[in-house]
Amino acid sequence: MKFPYEALDVSDKSFFTPYSPPAEALQKAAEIILLSIGENVKREGLERTPKRFAKAYAEICSGYQYTAQDAVGEGVFQGEGGLVSVRDIDFFSLCEHHMLPFWGKISVAYLPQDKILGLSKIPRLTEVFSKRLQVQERLTKDIATGINEVIAPRAVAVRIVGSHMCMMMRGVKKSGSETVTEFSVGLDKISQQETDRLWKSIE
């Protein structure tokens, strides 16, 4: 089969260099995908698709530019006190194996040491890690360790319930299944009773 990408010289790596805007590289990538699946990139409905794709991906994958610290900014306050939990934060991410969406709910609980997070900062912090190519297990760990980094709580627990498009529309086609992942930091420093309360609060 003849390589069909006349529009693109793939030996020309210039569009991967820092000198060309990433939007352009993403547009070219979208064109390659369209051509590869046998589409006509010139037909009316697809004319602006590479542009839209580039814009969408720039947003969906914007997490790479930020750290947990960037997400919380000034939103760290002195304060002890009891258990803090934020449940069912919506997230959307892309699985790194298929680049297909996975999405669901993130729940976070922590026992403060001497710092607490502004409540709106927790969803923002989750986005730093969900807006990247991910696997759900690592996303769970990234969020827990990210919170540990910015406020060093006594303990933090994260639980994610996710649905994966790559399982639903291809492969095993298990459309009703959900994946649950958990990660915690610092449970060895708290009592069993506190551990139970931490997990119970985000069940």
Amino acid found at 78: Q
Number of residues lying near Zn ion (CB under 5 A): 4
Choose one: 7-15, 50-58, 82-90, 159-167; the region binding Zn ion (CB under 5 A). 159-167
Q: Torsions phi, psi of 78, nearest 5?
A: -70, 140
The residue among 55 and 98 lying less far from Zn ion, judged by its C-beta, is 98
Residue 179 CB-density burial (10 A; 0-12 exposed, 13-18 middle, 19+ buried)? middle
Q: Is 139 in the site for Zn ion (CB under 5 A)?
A: no
Burial class of 111 by CB neighbour count within 10 A (0 to 12, 13 to 18, 19+):
buried
Binding mask 65-104 for Zn ion (x = CB under 5 A): ------------------------------x-xx------
Q: Which two tokens stand for residue 151?
A: 């406020």
> What is the nearest approach in angstroms of Zn ion to the Cβ of residue 88?
23
Residue 119 beta carbon to Zn ion: minimum distance, rounded to whole angstroms: 31
Residue from 32, 61, 166, 190 touching Zn ion (CB under 5 A): that is 166
Q: Which residue is nearest to Zn ion (CB)?
A: 166
From 3-11, 51-59, 111-119, 164-172, span contacting Zn ion (CB under 5 A): 164-172
H helices of 13-171, in order, are 22-36, 49-60, 68-72, 121-130, 136-151, 165-168
For Zn ion, the closer CB: 50 or 63: 63
Written as six digits, the tokens of 104 are 């669901």
Specify the 3-state DSSP secondary structure of 84. strand
Contacts with Zn ion by CB under 5 A lie at 95, 97-98, 166
